[in-house]
């Protein structure tokens, strides 16, 4: 059999292309898993009343003052239910949207209210993490 250098180059180029495509898929999967973990942890924090933890998912540039300084609206707030109506959908490689309904009440009023929370999540490549850019739910 004759040696054909052209065939070897084509094979190398095809393999390199497949390798690069695989790396892109791995990065996309890594971001998707990171988003899933962030939204699940955020949901859990809100549902169980760990509002400081939930506030920690808001990008540091969007927080006012210290991250421990929660808005007054969270005083005596209890979340009775949290249901994801629309799971996270990637709008672009660095942005996703999720919709949840949240049932809540204030201990002093004992009236259950429901809000629909449309969450926008953005990926920060420098910090390699997802951040809630839409802010905390608008409880009233």
Predicted local confidence at residue 67, as pLDDT: 52
Largest CA distance in the chain: 87
> How far is 89 from 133, CA to CA, in rounded Å?
15
Q: What one-character DSSP code corresponds to residue 58?
A: B
Other C-beta atoms closer than 10 Å to the C-beta of 31 total 19
Per-residue pLDDT of the chain (140 residues; tens, 9 = 90+): 555 555 556 666 655 565 555 555 666 678 899 999 999 999 999 999 999 999 999 988 888 765 567 888 899 999 999 999 999 988 898 999 999 999 999 999 989 999 999 999 999 999 889 999 999 999 98
Burial of 36 (0-12, 13-18, 19+ CB in 10 A): middle
> How far is 84 from 107, CA to CA, in rounded Å?
24
The CATH code for residues 5-132 is 3.10.450.100
Strands (E) across the chain are located at 77-92, 95-106, 113-124, 129-132
> How far is 87 from 32, CA to CA, in rounded Å?
12
**Entry pTM:** 0.77
**What is the SS3 assignment for 62?**
coil
Task: Compute φ and ψ for 99, nearest 5 degrees.
Answer: -120, 135
């Amino acid at each position: 059999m004759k040696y054909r250098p052209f065939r070897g180059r084509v094979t190398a180029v095809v393999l390199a292309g497949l390798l690069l495509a695989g790396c892109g898929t791995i990065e996309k999967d890594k971001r998707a898993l990171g988003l899933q973990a962030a939204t699940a942890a955020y949901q859990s924090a809100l549902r169980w009343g760990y509002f400081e933890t939930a506030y920690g998912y808001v990008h540091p540039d969007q927080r006012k003052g210290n991250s421990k300084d929660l808005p007054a609206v969270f005083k005596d707030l209890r979340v009775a239910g949290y249901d994801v109506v629309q799971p996270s959908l990637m709008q672009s490689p660095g942005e996703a949207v999720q919709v949840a309904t949240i049932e809540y009440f204030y201990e002093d009023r004992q009236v259950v209210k429901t809000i629909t929370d449309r969450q926008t999540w953005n990926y920060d490549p420098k910090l390699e993490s997802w951040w809630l850019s839409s802010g905390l739910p608008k409880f009233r």
